[in-house]
Amino acid sequence: MGNHFKSYEFQCPCGQCKELIIDCRLIEYLEALRLRVELPIRITSGYRCRGYQSTLREHNINTALGTSQHELGMAADISIEGMSGPQLELILRDMGIKAVGVADRWVHFDLRADKERRWTY
């Protein structure tokens, strides 16, 4: 899981599934970001199973329709203490990330590279 991250940080929060799918490119970007900002990164959401995604939708939590990038192990929601979501977005864009969801104090980013994507929470 790289030098700065542990697999448990990416576990599905459902507490039921034992599966953990994380694309190694996601870890590579997180490691590069960690080295760039020289600050710890908090993973607030990594892998999510289909059941957990359904639970989020049932509770009207803003999440992707269809198969989520979290379900594919290709997304992370992250925060860095002292940095805003828009600040994180600028750094991620500079690193070549094309899909970023921005909140005040955190971001979602994923590995979709087909086109520039931005949304807000």
Domain boundary assignment for the chain: 7-120
Largest Cα–Cα distance in the chain?
Answer: 38
CB of 73 within 8 A of CB of 26? yes
Taking only the tens place, the pLDDT of each residue in 108-121 is 999 999 999 999 99
Confidence band of 22 (pLDDT split at 50, 70, 90): very high
DSSP letter string, 13-62: TTSS-------HHHHHHHHHHHHHHTS--EEEE----HHHHHHHHHTT--
Taking only the tens place, the pLDDT of each residue in 38-67 is 999 999 999 999 999 999 988 888 777 789
> What pTM value is reported for the model?
0.93
CATH architecture of 7-120: 2-Layer Sandwich (3.30)
The pLDDT of residue 80 is above 80: yes
- Percent residues over pLDDT 90 in the chain: 84
pLDDT given for residue 35 in this prediction = 97
DSSP letter string, 70-109: TTTT-EEEEE-TT--HHHHHHHHHHTT--EEEE-SS-EEE
